[in-house]
Structure 1
Amino acid sequence: AKVWPGGMPETFCTDHWRCRFMSPTKGSPIEHAQIIALLKHIADQGFDFIKTENLYNFDGKIGYSLGQGE
């Protein structure tokens, strides 16, 4: 479900959500500076964040569970 930006009103029935920030270039790693910039943007919009997890590939295979619809 899309929550932000332009999310559906029915998604605001809880007080926290999960998002997965992926590299725009498939296979390229995300730099820590990109994560920090994204979290700053989220905070600047008035949203709070409570947890981060970095997801990794190992030997070319994903090392994490896929989300619904991925």
Structure 2
Amino acid sequence: MTYKNSALQQKPATPDYEAKAPAEKIIVGVDVFLHKHQLSASMLAERLKLLETAELELEMITNRGVKVWPDGFPETFCTDQWRCRFMLKAGLTQLGYGDIIRLLSLISANNLDVIKTENLCTFHGEPGFMLGQGL
């Protein structure tokens, strides 16, 4: 038996791939995830507001995906992990990595434990991130 010209041996033609132009990506904020126990959302916000930079301001704090600051419900059960959203201040158009590093340095210098960060970007002017529950 021979399989010289079988369909199994013939490779299908590979379609030409055309790369799309990259989206216009602009960093407009950063989510800083903190590990801090025995602290309320309002107490944490009070500390973080003092660390705002010329480029970034604290917009909200969530815990387990629920907005707890500002205007959170005091009865919300909170764990010791917080997402603190810092956004570009009004009138500014773009953040640089140095701006985020400066903020993280301030947070670290104030004995707050950074677990991770997520840069918040727009793509062609559309947010590429979730707004957060309650917004």
TM-score (norm 1): 0.74
Separation (CA, whole Å) in 1 of partners of 2:93 and 2:114 = 24
Gaps of 5+ in 2: 1-40, 49-68, 70-74
Q: Identify which of structures 1 and 2 has the higher relative contact order when contacts are C-alpha pairs closer than 8 Å and 6+ apart.
A: 2
Question: What SS is found at the alignment partner of 1:5?
Answer: helix
Give the whole-Å Cα distance in 1 for the aligned partners of 2:79 and 2:129: 25
Post-superposition, which runs of at least 4 consecutive aligned residues in structure 1 deviate over 4 A?
none
Q: Which runs of 5+ in 1 are unaligned?
A: none
**Change beyond 3 A, Cα 1:27–1:57:** farther
Tell whether 2:118 aligns with 1:53: yes
Asked if residue 5 in structure 1 is aligned to residue 46 in structure 2, the reply is: yes
Which has more strand, going by share of residues? 2
Look up the SS of the partner of 1:68 in the other structure: coil
Q: Provide the TM-score with structure 2 as the length reference.
A: 0.42
- Cα distance per residue 1:18-70 (max 9 Å; x no partner): 01111103561111111111111111111010111111111111111101343
Higher helix fraction: Structure 1 or Structure 2? 1
- Which structure has the bigger radius of gyration? 2
Distance 2:119 2:101 in 1: 12
Q: How many residues align?
A: 68
Aligned in 2, Cα 1:6/1:32: closer, same or farther, shift over 3 Å?
Answer: closer
Question: Of residues 5, 19, 32 in structure 1, which corresponds to 2:97?
Answer: 32
